[in-house]
């Protein structure tokens, strides 16, 4: 996803220099969910999203607009295509297993 992909490892003790400075890109919506959404929405901070068949349009809109304390996310943070994938995955997700 990140600069690391193009990073050139010059040996374990040499400086790691990203060739030309690789830009971060999300692998897919699953990675966004794991690295952003999950921190609140599976941690008693925000409501659980999985298993509720939340409409994709609703998810996309809340991510862009924010909602009360939920921050808004810009296309520079999560691009439209990846956000659509996040929304699709949330919409089709199974409910979280209860402990």
Partner 1 sequence: MVSKSKAKVLPKGVSAADFDKAVREIRAIVGDEHVVVDEDKLAPYRKIMMPVPDDQHELSASVMPDGVEEIQRIMKVANKYRIPVYPVSTGKNLGYGSAAPVQRGQIVMDLRRMNRIIEVDPELCTALVEPGVTYQQLYDYLQEHKLPLWFSCPAPSAIAGPVGNMVDRGVGYTPYGEHFMFSCGMEVVLADGQVLRTGMGAMPNSNTWQVFKWGYGPTLDGMFTQSNYGVVTKMGMWLMPAPPDFRPFCIQYPDEADITKIVEALRPLRIAMVIPNAVVIAHTLWEAPCTPVKRADYYTGPGAIPDEAVKRIQKDHNIGAWNVYAGLYGTKETNDANWKIIEAVAAGTGGKIITQEASKGSQALEYRFDLMKGKPNLGEFGLYNWRGGGGSIWFAPVSQAKGAETLKQMQMAKTILGKYGFDYVGEFIVGWRDMHHVIDLLYDRSNPEQMEKAYACYDELLHTFAKEGYGMYRANTAFAEKVAATYGPVKRDIEKRLKKALDPNNIIAPGRCGISL
Active site residues: 69-70
Using CB under 8 A as the binding rule, whether residue 8 contacts partner 1 is answered as no
Give, in degrees to the nearest 5, the angle at Cα 34 between 77 and 10.
75
Instruction: Determine how many CB atoms are found less than 10 A away from the CB of residue 42.
Output: 15
Q: Cα(first)–Cα(last) distance of the chain, in Å?
A: 31
**Given the complex with partner 1, which of 2 and 52 has the nearer CB atom?**
2
Query: Does the footprint of partner 1 cover residue 27 (CB under 8 A)?
Result: no
72 binds partner 1 (CB under 8 A): yes
Which of residues 27, 36, 84, 88 is near partner 1 by CB under 8 A? Answer: 36
């Amino acid at each position: 996803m990140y600069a690391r992909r193009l990073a050139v490892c010059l040996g374990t003790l040499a400086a790691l220099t990203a060739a030309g400075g690789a830009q971060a890109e999300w692998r897919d919506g699953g990675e966004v969910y794991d690295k952003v959404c999950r921190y609140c929405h599976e941690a008693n901070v925000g409501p659980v999203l999985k298993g509720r068949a939340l409409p994709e349009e609703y998810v996309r809109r809340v991510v862009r607009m924010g909602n009360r304390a939920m921050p808004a996310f810009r296309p520079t943070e999560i691009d439209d295509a990846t956000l659509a994938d996040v929304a699709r995955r949330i919409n089709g997700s199974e409910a979280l297993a209860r402990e």
